[in-house]
Amino acid sequence: MLTVLCPLKLRRAPSALAVVVAVAVAAASLGAASFAAADTSKMRKEDVPIQRRASGPGKNKLCCGYPLAGVEEWALRFYWLAREEDHDDPEEVEYRPLDEVELYTPRGFYLGSVAERFAWALRMEGTGLMSDGRVINYAGACAFGYGTCFEELDHHLYPFGRGSRRRPLVPFVSVAVDQAVVPIGEPLYIPEFDGLLLPDGSVHDGCVRADDTGGGIKRQKMDFFVVSYRNFRTVLSELWNLQVITPHIQSPRCEYLR
């Protein structure tokens, strides 16, 4: 019996390049399968092609900093210089001179006699302008005259009054804050002020600075210094009676105020 032997076919070992190609193809197939398996949305059912999410542009580091609270969660108020000439007219109803009180410094030096309403406004606003041009500032309670003492300021250094830590008040820049929340001297960006038309015709850039404090200013409250009551009415009208704001800290655009 004749036996025919068939030659065996020997399998060659795959090359290194073939192995790399096979692994890459398998990985790509697995990724596509995973993406397809995960795509069970309504869009897929309706044959709408789905694109992968693109990365956003990110935070603009040259602009606005970081908000201290949610949008419009800070109360906005205003303050200005108390002016003696606005309080020295006789009362219109009773046609009699206003009650006068005497103002003293903490060391007992006499500053003058003024209408009680002006003294009250001085205590509330913190700074006032006397009819003779003197600028006086709140100096705390004392045992003389009205019971609240004041001190005369150098009008060259403090033409609009003095804030916390002997900082000069700057119109439309200085704000009074709770220093437990905002450090004194810290610049702030107020987006609601950006583009605001000011009484002198200039446009606000949104930058203010924590220059002052106040007994009634706690936590999320801010008082904006506007110099005069007339300016207050103008600014409030431009802001459409806005009463809440969104202050930001660490704003690069406001670093010039530091």
- Give dist(CA 214, CA 169) in Å, integer: 14
- Give dist(CA 25, CA 17) in Å, integer: 12
Backbone φ and ψ of 149, nearest 5°: -95, 155
Q: What is the pLDDT of residue 123?
A: 87
Residue 6 identity:
C
Angle value at C-alpha 120, between 118 and 126, nearest 5 degrees: 95
pLDDT in tens, 188-245: 999 999 999 999 999 999 999 999 988 788 888 999 999 999 999 999 999 888 889 9
Cβ–Cβ contacts within 10 Å for residue 184, how many?
Answer: 15
- Give dist(CA 242, CA 77) in Å, integer: 9
Residues with pLDDT less than 50, the chain: 1-11, 16-17, 19-21, 23-25, 27-28, 30-40, 42-43, 48, 50-59, 92-93, 96
Q: What is the pTM of this model?
A: 0.70
Tokens 């032997």 sit on residue:
5
Q: What is the pLDDT of residue 145?
A: 83
Q: What is the pLDDT of residue 223?
A: 93
Q: What is the pLDDT of residue 175?
A: 95
252 Cβ contact partners less than 8 Å away, ≥ 6 residues apart: 61, 62, 63, 65
Cβ–Cβ contacts within 10 Å for residue 193, how many?
Answer: 24
In the chain, what are the domains? 63-79+163-258 (2.40.40), 82-159 (no CATH)
SS3 255: helix
